[in-house]
Amino acid sequence: MAGEKQIPAAKTIVESYPVSPMQQGMLYESLSAPHSGVHVEQILCTLPEELNLAAFRQAWERVAARHTILRTGFRVAGLKPQQQVHRQVRLHFEQKDWRGLTKREQEGRLDAYLHAERRRGFELSVPPLMRLALFHVGETKRVLAWTFHHLLLDGRALIVLLGEVFAFYEAICQARDLDLAAPRPYRDYVEWLRTRDWSDAETFWRDQLKGFAAPTSLAVARSANQAQDPYAGHSIQQLLLSRQETARLRSVAKEHGLKLSTLFQGAWAVLLARYTGEKDVMFGVVRSCRRSSLEGAESIVGPFVNILPMRVRVTGETPALDWLKGLQRQQVAIRDHEHTPLLEVQRWSGLPVGQRLFESILNFQDPSWDAALRALGGKWARREFSIRNQPSFPLWVDVSGGPEMTLKIGYEPGRFQDAAIARMLGHFQLLLKGTAGDLSQRVADLSLPAEAERGQRLAERNRTATDFSREKCVHELFETQVERTPNAVALVYTKGEVSYRELDNQADRVAVHLRSLGVGPDPVDWLADGDLEFLGRIDHPVKICSYRIDPDQSESSLNRHPAVRESLVLAPENGGETISSKPSLLQRGRRYGKAQLRH
């Protein structure tokens, strides 16, 4: 990746073994976008304490010597990439004194440093795939910036490592020995995975994904083709649930035998359904995968985490509690198959090669890794932790536990507008409140935005100016959308709703009738009654070629086809009198303007 390519000497490598399936996915994504910052993690730790710098550095060196994953590089050879453990590594450790700067200047320099480190990336074959920097920002205050690749660590591993670093640090400062048991190497987990039989998992996931046609795409997102700078990184917005809101969610979950994570996954599924108009939605869920694996997994340093699809059918008439319990049973069923490689699940899904199963992921942590560290008490309670990361998905949601739970959404700024994400966070919060308020209500009745938000959303939807392929006709663009989301609601109006597939079929039926009338290649203007079929009659002319009907011929043609005559009015393009076989339509005017198009 960054820097000059280096080939490690064979004598420095003490062992080599295959990568785990999750590592393989991250490895190829990182290599395909080497300076994008994808899968580069950055931990910030504010230390309001005196620090013995020599002892602190020595503590990190001791931890690197203990855990093979911190001395691991990655070699891609054909289809079987390997991770290679080196005998020893040299840690990158830099220090800066920023005490003479204002707080704002310090923050600006820290942001610039983190951005540069993310763009710098790593040469994946040369360990250690981590760098440390310590910034002196006050007389007794420092900020530690720890940049590493996600190939090495997940959230649980962070807790183990940071705990050991500060335990060694205290021991070194006190000139005493710290005798820790030898850690179980990450290789044991990879070997355990290799012994797994995936036949049951294949049956399970094929059944879970049967009939799913396309990933759930948020309506507020621009297309991937419209994304601006692919190396711009992710933007982040977040909000805190109040103590009262958090306590209420915990109480409701406990009272009804639900996991807290189920409430959040249910709310996110409903939000996706509301935004897309689809009743069958899919998003990714982050699974820690430690409790269901080999013995001693909790203390192994390395990435166990996996991301798997959660397919949810948002059934409007079902009571919310029954629906959530079904969702929870689905979570439990996944546990037996949570180590399944996502690449295999993707293959079993039947979707085209290269197409994602989902475009958003949800990561629920309660407690979060930083809360678990602060709960250790003493100096830990005063230390502050945060993380900056960049998954490979266009939108990701982090839910962190605590007295005041945090909702965080990360997103590609080229795909999502800041205002749209801010509204999304607010809607997520509203759905959580609605869920906790009354679980006896139907899923269809879960809290919707207030009227002011409805107006804002309608205005957002009506800002439809966008880039599109200039090489396709309108009906071809529409047919592309039919293929992408055939069951999504295309039209909502006063009497009902219609899906893209139904609308397309309806347009085809009307087009067949018009061909039989000898319709030619001329344009025609339509005014239609506000019934369920009107948009199909608007759409069908472009399917058979835009046309104008001669007023004299059109009147006689409509008289021969009363089904068409009863709901269509022809209007001359250049402002002449409207010709109508149904005068009542002219009196009512464009009543169909109440319809709302989903796009």
Residue-wise pLDDT tens digits, 403-440:
999 999 999 998 899 999 999 999 999 999 999 999 99
Answer for the pair 65, 88: CB distance below 8 angstroms, yes or no.
yes
Average pLDDT over residues 528-552: 44
Answer for the pair 41, 158: CB distance below 8 angstroms, yes or no.
no
The confidence band for 560, taking pLDDT boundaries of 50, 70 and 90, is: very low
The confidence band for 536, taking pLDDT boundaries of 50, 70 and 90, is: very low
Q: How many domains does the chain divide into?
A: 3
**573 φψ region: left (φ > 0), alpha (ψ -120 to 50), beta (else):** alpha
- Is residue 227 in a domain? no
Same domain, 449 and 488: no
The confidence band for 491, taking pLDDT boundaries of 50, 70 and 90, is: low
User: Residue 589, SS3?
Assistant: coil
Under DSSP, the state recorded for 69 is: G
pLDDT of residue 479 exceeding 70: yes
Same domain, 452 and 539: no
Average pLDDT over residues 212-218: 86
CA neighbor of 451 nearest in space, from 430, 471, 468, 469:
430
Residue-wise pLDDT tens digits, 249-277:
999 999 999 999 999 999 999 999 999 88
Answer for the pair 416, 394: CB distance below 8 angstroms, yes or no.
yes
Predicted pLDDT at 221: 65
Same domain, 375 and 505: no
pLDDT of residue 287 exceeding 70: yes
Return d(Cα 406, Cα 306) in angstroms, integer: 22
Return d(Cα 132, Cα 145) in angstroms, integer: 6
- Is residue 208 in a domain? no
Same domain, 172 and 258: no
Same domain, 432 and 500: no
Domain boundary among 439, 461, 483: 461
The confidence band for 569, taking pLDDT boundaries of 50, 70 and 90, is: very low
Burial class (CB in 10 A: 0-12, 13-18, 19+), 232: middle
User: Residue 93, SS3?
Assistant: strand
The confidence band for 554, taking pLDDT boundaries of 50, 70 and 90, is: very low
Answer for the pair 81, 424: CB distance below 8 angstroms, yes or no.
no
Same domain, 316 and 451: yes
Which CATH number do you get for residue 120? 3.30.559.10
Return d(Cα 487, Cα 175) in angstroms, integer: 68
> Average model confidence (pLDDT) for the chain?
82
- Is residue 206 in a domain? no
Same domain, 332 and 380: yes
Higher pLDDT, 466 or 79: 79
Same domain, 402 and 499: no
CA neighbor of 232 nearest in space, from 422, 2, 37, 410:
37
- Is residue 3 in a domain? no
Same domain, 292 and 348: yes
Higher pLDDT, 402 or 502: 402
- Is residue 152 in a domain? yes
The confidence band for 363, taking pLDDT boundaries of 50, 70 and 90, is: very high
Domain boundary among 427, 461, 495: 461
Return d(Cα 110, Cα 98) in angstroms, integer: 10
The confidence band for 81, taking pLDDT boundaries of 50, 70 and 90, is: very high
- Is residue 201 in a domain? no
Return d(Cα 117, Cα 598) in angstroms, integer: 41
- Is residue 226 in a domain? no
- Is residue 153 in a domain? yes
Same domain, 280 and 340: yes
Q: Which domain holds residue 481?
A: 474-597
Percent of the chain residues past pLDDT 90, beyond the cut: 62
Same domain, 285 and 393: yes
Same domain, 127 and 245: no
The confidence band for 549, taking pLDDT boundaries of 50, 70 and 90, is: very low
